[in-house]
Structure 1
Amino acid sequence: MTTTPSGVATATRATAVAARATDLTKVYGQGETQVVALDAVSVAFRQSEFTAIMGPSGSGKSTLMHCMAGLDSISGGSARIGETELTGLKDKKLTQLRRDKIGFIFQAFNLLPTLTALENITLPMDIAGRKPDRAWLDRVVETVGLGGRLKHRPAQLSGGQQQRVAVARALASRPEIIFADEPTGNLDSRSGAEVLGFLRNSVRELGQTVVMVTHDPVAASYADRVVFLADGRIVDDMADPTADMVLDRMLRFSGGSPQTPAFDAKGRTS
């Protein structure tokens, strides 16, 4: 950890790789119906870094995340989490990898309605028969601002608060990497900004690694880096993005212009 001039503790940026794809290919269907969703994609996601994956609908961004997270099989090439190669892993080993090394945040909150916020947060560890690290759990709860809501059930929480619970659940087991698929898609702009801020802080202050798929240039601006996909290939890689930089890049890829964009104000295809 290092400390900024303002006194905020931050995680030291690591250069080690948390996940890597090498010539990763994903093909759906056969013959005339064959679709190449990923075309020999090679990319590395560094530890303690927040990466956004962007691109138009059908570009392969969600497919890349699902293949990297072991949620979908790959047709060729390699996908690794840390030093573990996903290709060829048996279902039991793959399930164990996802449980022990990967955190997930989805657009749908996926909370169990009969459990409290705290019980939802610790559920993956409870299923695995592991006790949470209390100091780490307290720190995660503080980071996402849930201290006063731990005894509430999902129906008693707003959408933004439910997604905070989902973020805390992903962080609680201290995974090697968190994959987030449109985590603010069901939230209003204020709640979305709060959740993105918590993800940003989890990287900066807790040293977490986050890879997020998003359509939204504003959401992408919270990341350290943006990887752009089009037609199943990586077409650009941007460091220290701003929302305007991201939107401009997306418009250029789509052949649009500020007057006639192929993307709307949030980067969604029109």
Structure 2
Amino acid sequence: MTAGAFAPHPTPGIAAATTDLSKVYGTGDARVVALDRVSISFREGEFTAIMGPSGCGKSTLMHCAAGLDQASSGSVRIGTTELATLDDRRLTRLRRDRIGFIFQAFNLMPTLTALENITLPMDLAGRAPDRRWLDRVIGMVGLSQRLDHRPAQLSGGQQQRVAVARALASRPAIVFGDEPTGNLDSRSGAEVLGFLRDSVRELGQTVVMVTHDPVAAGYADRVVFLSDGRLVDEISHPTPDRVLDLMKTLDPRTESTPC
């Protein structure tokens, strides 16, 4: 089994890692262990999907690994940087400069054009985008003809393409996606997943995605599975059917592959 357990020392080729990561909410009778000593590494240039039954800790793991939530104990690193050593200002800077985020809700600014939304994080940081890289990202997600449009003028799939381009535009060390296709129809979702896969294969990006969908997980290079806050299995070169079969062992309520 093991899902890439990570040694306490930085390892070349690792974009992010956790060691003995635990997250506990509440105390006494209300105490809930969301993550229980999770050790995992996310390798550079790899697309990893995180799956498991509802409430197993998928999103909590991603939020802690991305520095959006604070671990109760254990270690979280982006590259060789230990997040626990950073104050709020430096943590904010690290998230802005080295991490890309894609969320289910798109999170676009309605008054800005697609291009302005894509470059917003760099504008806020006072950094000019690498024009050659930016053009490459925009071309990959197929937005070249829609850059002057505002979100309300774009379909849901196009809005999520903008969110993908925004996450990639600053060349982050790692991109985290939390159910990035959850609000999309199957065709738009497949396009967005294809862009994420292409960003790994063509641009060398590192992507970590939380999903409940075996079809979405099939786009990844590997899938890691959580149950009750613990890593329980891993599949390399996944297919939707293999993912579904394993999910059925973790959650008997899983019936069929989403269309």
How many angstroms apart in 2 are the aligned matches of 1:57 and 1:214? 10
Whether the aligned pair in 2 keeps the contact of 1:215 and 1:266 (CA below 8 Å) is no
| SS of match in other structure, 2:127 | coil
How many angstroms apart in 1 are the aligned matches of 2:137 and 2:67? 25
The equivalent position to 1:47 in structure 2, one of 33, 44, 47, is 44
State whether structure 2 residue 104 is matched by structure 1 residue 113: no
| SS of match in other structure, 2:38 | strand
How many angstroms apart in 2 are the aligned matches of 1:191 and 1:124? 25
| SS of match in other structure, 2:208 | strand
Matches within 5 A, 1:1-270: 16-254=13-251, 256=252, 262-266=253-257
CA RMSD between the two structures: 0.9
Q: Per-residue CA shift, 1:85-105, capped at 9, x if unaligned?
A: 011421101100100100000
Structure 2: any 5+ residue segments left out of the alignment? 1-11
| SS of match in other structure, 1:205 | helix
TM-score of the two chains, using structure 2 as the length reference? 0.94
TM-score of the two chains, using structure 1 as the length reference? 0.90
How many angstroms apart in 2 are the aligned matches of 1:234 and 1:153? 41
Q: Per-residue CA shift, 1:195-251, capped at 9, x if unaligned?
A: 000000000000000000000000000000000000000000110000000000000
Structure 1: any 5+ residue segments left out of the alignment? 1-14, 257-261
Match of residue 9 from structure 2: none
How many angstroms apart in 1 are the aligned matches of 2:248 and 2:207? 25
One-letter code of the match for 1:183? Answer: P
One-letter code of the match for 2:28? Answer: G
Whether the aligned pair in 1 keeps the contact of 2:241 and 2:257 (CA below 8 Å) is no
How many angstroms apart in 2 are the aligned matches of 1:176 and 1:97? 10
One-letter code of the match for 1:27? Answer: V
Whether the aligned pair in 1 keeps the contact of 2:53 and 2:250 (CA below 8 Å) is no
How many angstroms apart in 2 are the aligned matches of 1:84 and 1:105? 22
Structure 1 residue runs of 4+, over 6 Å off? none
Whether the aligned pair in 1 keeps the contact of 2:48 and 2:221 (CA below 8 Å) is yes
Whether the aligned pair in 1 keeps the contact of 2:223 and 2:236 (CA below 8 Å) is yes
| SS of match in other structure, 1:58 | coil
Whether the aligned pair in 1 keeps the contact of 2:57 and 2:228 (CA below 8 Å) is yes
